[in-house]
Amino acid sequence: LLKVTQMMEWASKRSVIRMNGDKFRRFVKAPPRNYSVLIMFTALQPQRQCGVCRQADEEFQVLANSWRYSSAFTNKVFFASVDFDEGSDVFQMLNMNSAPTFLHFPSKGKPRKSDTYELQVRGFAAEQLARWVADRTDVQIRIIRPPNYAGPLLLGFLLAAIGGLAYLRRHNLEFLFNKSVWAFSALCFVLIMTSGQMWNHIRGPPYAHKNPSTGQVSYIHGSSQAQFVAETHIVLLFNAAVTMGMVLLCEAATSDMDIGKRKIMCVAGIGLVMLFFSWLLSIFRAKYHGYPYR
């Protein structure tokens, strides 16, 4: 009862309770405990240079605030965070060498494998975290985000720019029937979609992953079931380069330019296709282990 009272007092002040090693051992590890605790293990100090940790922390705050200021608020579950610089002993206790990491400590028994959130697969969007919380605790949290006017303002500016351009060129709208403009627009859309941008929008993965122990930054996810935002940018660039190479080859074969320029275009096209397609294949090999490449 004293533990719950103390946790409720902290939760009334901050939706996410900050814990160090002593608080973790007393309020999470030590029995008895009749409440669940969802903890984000992170490294937010500037010297750690963990940009992903800050992004995940913002989403975790959204999740906790949505729980705190809604009918889902209960004393059966609490949200907390342990920073590496404030609780490195906790990281060592749990043999944890990466951040951010989300763990659920149930009210009874020890955490199972499913109590570790699959960050690399599901991303750290608050909506995805809420589904995981509901699965582990049966507490349904409806995510309530603060209003963001950037999207509507950008859309309004874009529509105003298009309308202004159409008005200024109202007597000459031939550009609307330009095949090259529409082909370039369609190509950009295809490249964006095939690189995985829609998956990023749905899952909300981190931009990259940095190991707080070694400092090594990974831009390519090692699994075929997940990806980083940086990875989609790399794939987009490589696909665009391969496409440019194919365009150069087609132009070299059909253009009316002199033979010297056509040879240069042909060599450049072959080089782009071979170089960037081989890099694409290397990424594929790194993500799909055991694929028969020979």
Q: How far apart are CA 5 and CA 195, in angstroms?
A: 49
Q: How far apart are CA 31 and CA 29, in angstroms?
A: 7
- Residue 209 near residue 228 (C-beta atoms within 8 A): yes
- Residue 287 near residue 220 (C-beta atoms within 8 A): yes
Burial 165-204 (b: 16+ CB within 10 A, else e): eeeeeeeeeeeeeeeeeeeeeeeeeebeeebbbebbeebb
Q: How far apart are CA 264 and CA 282, in angstroms?
A: 27
- Residue 91 near residue 41 (C-beta atoms within 8 A): yes
Its pTM stands at: 0.59
Per residue of the chain (294 residues), give pLDDT as tens. 688 889 888 988 889 999 998 999 889 888 888 889 999 999 888 887 777 888 889 889 999 999 888 887 888 899 999 999 888 899 988 888 888 899 999 988 888 888 889 887 788 888 889 999 999 888 888 888 877 677 788 889 888 987 887 777 777 777 677 788 888 889 888 988 888 888 777 777 778 877 766 777 888 887 777 788 889 999 999 999 999 999 999 989 888 888 888 999 999 999 999 999 999 988 888 887 766 655
pLDDT at 105: 92
Rounded to a whole number of angstroms, the CA Rg of the chain reads: 26
End-to-end CA distance of the chain: 64
Q: How far apart are CA 51 and CA 56, in angstroms?
A: 9
Please classify residue 16 by burial: count the beta carbons closer than 10 Å to its beta carbon, then call 0-12 exposed, 13-18 middle and 19+ buried.
buried
Token pair listed for 53: 């940790």
Closest CA to 144 of 65, 38, 60, 40: 65
pLDDT at 75: 85
Q: How far apart are CA 73 and CA 288, in angstroms?
A: 43
Which positions ≥6 away from 268 have C-beta within 8 Å?
245, 248
Name the 3-class secondary structure at 74. Answer: coil
pLDDT at 167: 77
Long-range contacts of 249-257 (CB under 8 A, 24+ apart): 249/273
- Residue 89 near residue 190 (C-beta atoms within 8 A): no
Q: How far apart are CA 79 and CA 17, in angstroms?
A: 6
- Residue 41 near residue 100 (C-beta atoms within 8 A): yes
pLDDT at 235: 92
- Residue 231 near residue 220 (C-beta atoms within 8 A): yes
Q: How far apart are CA 144 and CA 141, in angstroms?
A: 9
Q: How far apart are CA 37 and CA 78, in angstroms?
A: 5
Token pair listed for 193: 């979609």
Q: How far apart are CA 138 and CA 247, in angstroms?
A: 54
pLDDT at 41: 93
Q: How far apart are CA 129 and CA 185, in angstroms?
A: 35
pLDDT at 212: 63
- Residue 189 near residue 75 (C-beta atoms within 8 A): no
